[in-house]
Amino acid sequence: MHSTQPTVQKSRIHHLDILRGFALLGILLMNIQGFAMPGAAYLNPTAWGDFEGANFAVWVFSHVFADSKFMGIFSILFGAGICLFAESAMQKTGSSAGLHYKRNFWLLLFGLVHAHFIWYGDILVSYALCAFWVYWFRNKSPRFLIISSILFLSIATLYSLFVHFAINNNFIPPSAIKEILAFWLPEQSQLQNEIAAYTGSIVEQFQQRSHEAFVLETQVFLSIFLWRAGGMMLLGMALYKKGILSGAKSVTYYSYLTIIGLTLGLSLSSYGVIQNIQHGFEMNYSMFFGNQFNYWGSILTALGYIGLVNLVISKGFAKSLQSRLAAVGQMAFTNYIFHSVSCTFIFYGYGLGYFSELERSIQLLIVILVWVIQLWYSPLWLAKYRFGPLEWAWRSLTYWQRQPMILSK
């Protein structure tokens, strides 16, 4: 008889849960800007708000140490999770395709609800869509996966460089350039309309949010997310197969991975900051060429963070924090949506309505508060329940069977 039950607590890979919790918390360092300010401020820090003193320092810190780094780790872990889930399904049922596609079909629906009814900056839709085709690579060798990853990641770079070249050589009509500029540096009236929508009625919020979600799900997905997220998932499959994510390598290996990844990655991102500032965050340079330093630097930094986390685990440092991060990671789906629900309550009109009013330095305090809350309640929840509430719902739908929730004594 085959079992279709999900992975139980004792079968979980501790290293992956800690990495997932670490990445989930780090993601909020960037996402808070999307919750708190007009969308353009996420890409272009000069589009909205004060950009001096403490606010400038917070932006530099978040850009160099967080922008695309933690999302990169999360994408890597998602790719590893596809392999892990497929292996588990094969052992239990002799087949994995059906469960994989059911699992990601439900993830897609969750993502669409999240994007259009809670927060437009959803990543779940992109992950689900990429998972539909990344699955085909699950049995490839690590070498093939790494080469494929680099090729896919390079497509987004080629797109950006092509647009940069086309604008410089007047190959793109002025009307199209005006539309791109409105995305990068909106006019004051456009910014005020966005602020009015998110601090307005539920209907106004939905219309604005759904419009922005649709842009991300189509234009941005096809030009960037498809290649970036998919490429990182392929890299995650390779790292999983080589045992890098699960702590199977030596301390020396993780030391080199940490030093090389962080040195090269943070240096590239820092150089990109300097160049963007020198170019005054001019649209054609910073949006399409200057962003490439962080695009590739973030991948190296993500690898460095993976090495660092594995070093901390192997050395036995901060065991209490490790267990809390593992709990956050085990409830990553629930905690990710908690970010959106709690932060939109703080900033949107249906809640406290602070959208566009809090600068980056204050936003950082909110991030720390959310971290403390999640590190506190995640272990408490898992001391009583097998899954987070959304993890339970996702698994129950995937296996089409109500899963036991309360831990047996």
SS3 assignment for 47-64? CCCCCCHHHHHHHHHHHH
- Please report the DSSP string for 94-153 in residue order: S--HHHHHHHHHHHHHHHHHHHHHT-TT--HHHHHHHHHHHGGGTTS-HHHHHHHHHHHH
Residue 11 has a pLDDT of 55
Three-state secondary structure readout of 258-312 = HHHHHHHHHHHHHHHHHHHHHCCCCHHHHHHCCCHHHHHHHHHHHHHHHHHHHHH
Range of the domain at 213: 9-399
Residue type, 65: F
Yes or no: say if 13 and 84 are a contact pair by the CB < 8 Å rule.
yes
Yes or no: say if 258 and 307 are a contact pair by the CB < 8 Å rule.
yes
* Domain membership flag for residue 65: yes
Residue 93 has a pLDDT of 82
Tell me the whole-structure pTM to 2 decimals: 0.94
The rounded distance, in Å, linking the Cα atoms of 254 and 267 is 19
- Crossing angle for the helix pair 14-36 and 69-93, nearest 10 degrees? 140
How many CB atoms are closer than 10 A to CB 238?
25
- Name the residue among 221, 212, 214, 225 with its Cα closest to residue 72: 225
How many CB atoms are closer than 10 A to CB 327?
24
User: No. of H helices and E strands in the chain?
Assistant: 18, 0
Q: Model confidence over 228-246: pLDDT tens digits?
A: 999 999 999 999 999 999 9
The rounded distance, in Å, linking the Cα atoms of 21 and 25 is 6
**Overall number of domains in the chain:** 1
Those residues whose C-beta lies under 8 Å from the C-beta of residue 260, and which sit 6 or more positions away, are 300, 304
- Name the residue among 230, 257, 261, 264 with its Cα closest to residue 151: 230
pLDDT lower than 50: segments of the chain: 1-4, 6, 8
Could you give the 3-state DSSP secondary structure of residue 406? strand
Residue 3 has a pLDDT of 46
How many CB atoms are closer than 10 A to CB 299?
26
* Domain membership flag for residue 320: yes
Region at 53 (left for phi over 0; alpha for psi -120 to 50; beta for the rest):
left
* Domain membership flag for residue 407: no
Place of tokens 């093939």: 144
Residue type, 13: I
How many CB atoms are closer than 10 A to CB 364?
19
Could you give the 3-state DSSP secondary structure of residue 352? coil
Residue 409 has a pLDDT of 59
* Domain membership flag for residue 406: no
Residue 94 has a pLDDT of 82
* Domain membership flag for residue 189: yes
- Phi, psi for 22 (deg, rounded to 5): -60, -45
* Domain membership flag for residue 15: yes
* Domain membership flag for residue 4: no
* Integer CA distances (angstroms), 329 to 229, 302, 405, in order: 19, 17, 18
* Domain membership flag for residue 78: yes
- Name the residue among 184, 178, 181 with its Cα closest to residue 45: 184
- Name the residue among 408, 351, 398, 406 with its Cα closest to residue 6: 398
Question: In the numeric block, which tokens belong to residue 41?
Answer: 């401020």
Q: Model confidence over 96-149: pLDDT tens digits?
A: 999 999 999 999 999 999 999 999 999 999 999 999 999 999 999 999 999 999
- Name the residue among 183, 159, 186 with its Cα closest to residue 288: 159
